Amino acid sequence: MNRFDKKVELRLPDSLKWSGVNRLFKGEDLLPLWVADMDFEAPAPVLEAIRRRVDAGLFTYTELPPSLFEAVAGWLDRRFNWPVAPSDLLFASGVVTLLKASVLAFTQPGDSVVVQPPVYGPFGDAVTGQGRELVLNPLKIEQGKYKMDFDDLEAKLRLTGAKLLLLCSPHNPAGRVWEEAELNRLAALCQAYGVTVASDEIHSDLILSGQHIPIASLPGMAERTVTFIAPSKTFNLAGLHTSFAVATDETLRIGLDQALGYRSPNPLSIAGAEAAYREGEEWLEACLAYLRGNVSFAADYLAELLPDAVVYVPEATYLLWVDLRAYGLSQEELGRLLVQEARVAVSGGGAFVSEGEGRIRINLATRRENLEEGLSRIARALGSVQPGGEAGIDGAEAGEA
């Protein structure tokens, strides 16, 4: 049996995804295919490292050991051929924290910051929640694929004078792995208009097809980029709250460090993160193979049972972005249908920064059997559309990840 088909206890009392779902989505017996963590047990070396740390029996104030930063740098070099000095890394509890800190560090109140919707909701909050102006450079769809709109970006940089871009690479929820030519064009615009890039690369290890290129590794970009990575999505360790920023430029690094302020690491997170980056590769490759299977299964299933749904097959992430506007339902009607009729919890389009109307994001990182159950529930409910009623789909926006 494939290890990812193994049944594990998912209804832990503190699991946001499984135990929080009925409350957050205001439904009953919901099958959770929403928040971005996986229903798979973490890699064995991670579990062993954490157990060893527990067995030591002391939970003292903790230092970040040099070996942790060396493990992260080794991973970036091995996976992306990206040599990074361990001293260029900063620790933080999460990437959303890093996004917020980068806005604080690199802009002033009232400044404009560019994001590329439809994008992960906290990108918007990081800007507007801190008194900055949100500038939208929506992705456009060409031949069924999300692309960056460089003409629109250039016009907006010129118009607004924005000096910070929050890049999502790979993109959640569009599932794009940005190609070298696209990143080069983006880099050229950032250089021409003096834009700093905060690049959220949390999904960069979850590559299903293509090759991830860190934008900071392109010529002339290390000095204007801070990159955010984490073991959380890669190795399914979201609850351990560990992430890193790569900031080669000293001024950017000091600015980000100051904006992050005091932070105190957790010994179990350190043990888990280091083991993951040193010994997690085999698990990750096996996981990616399983996820690729889930993606094709879901794409084929939906093409057959919901031919009017537009499915964006992801090149990265385990998240499937589906456009259901052809079914003619309002966001509220769609939410009600999915929660009350289908009894599934997916991420509603409203959880993303604009451009999400009529779309849903389905988390595919679950046992195939579970996925099939979820998709069949969605297909059955949409097959007998009955609009009207209260929304449920965006009810969990606050806790969305």
Return the H-helix or E-strand segment holding 296: helix 281-305
Which one among 16, 31, 68, 96 touches ligand PLP, defined by CB under 6 A? 96
Q: Between 240 and 393, name the residue whose CB sits nearer to ligand PLP.
A: 240
In whole angstroms, give the CA distance from residue 342 to residue 308: 17
Residues forming a β-bridge with 92: 243
The residue assigned the tokens 């295919």 is 33
- The answer to whether residue 238 forms part of the interface with ligand PLP (CB under 6 A) is yes
Give the footprint of ligand PLP on residues 113-172 (CB under 6 A). 120, 168, 172
Give Cβ neighbours of residue 206 (< 8 Å, ≥ 6 apart).
170, 233, 234, 288, 291, 316, 317, 318
User: Tokens 């966001």 identify what position?
Assistant: 331
Smaller CB distance to ligand PLP: residue 166 or 381? 166
CA dist., res. 92 & res. 83, Å (int)? 21
Q: According to the binding rule CB under 6 A, does residue 243 interact with ligand PLP?
A: yes
Q: Position 56: which residue type?
A: A
Min CB(326)–ligand PLP separation in Å:
26
Amino acid in the structure at residue 383: G
**Degrees, nearest 5: CA angle 75-81-82:** 75
202 lies in the site for ligand PLP, by CB under 6 A:
yes
- Least spacing, CB of residue 366 vs ligand PLP, in Å: 15
Considering beta carbons, is residue 195 or 401 the nearer one to ligand PLP? 401
Of 145, 78, 67, nearest to 285 by C-alpha is 78
Residue 181 CA to residue 369 CA, distance in Å, equals: 39
Scanning 92-100, 109-117, 218-226, 379-387 for contacts with ligand PLP by CB under 6 A, the matching segment is 92-100
Instruction: Name the segment binding ligand PLP (CB under 6 A); options: 94-102, 212-220, 305-313, 352-360.
Output: 94-102
230 touching ligand PLP, by CB under 6 A? yes
Of the candidates 196, 225, 227, 232, which one interacts with ligand PLP according to CB under 6 A?
232
Size of the site for ligand PLP (CB under 6 A): 14
Near ligand PLP in 17-46, by CB under 6 A = 36
* 16 sits near ligand PLP (criterion: CB under 6 A): no
Tell me the two tokens of residue 178.
């940005």
Beta strand residue intervals within 192-318, DSSP E: 196-200, 225-229, 243-246, 310-312
Binding site for ligand PLP (CB under 6 A): 36, 94-96, 120, 168, 172, 200, 202, 230, 232, 238, 243, 401
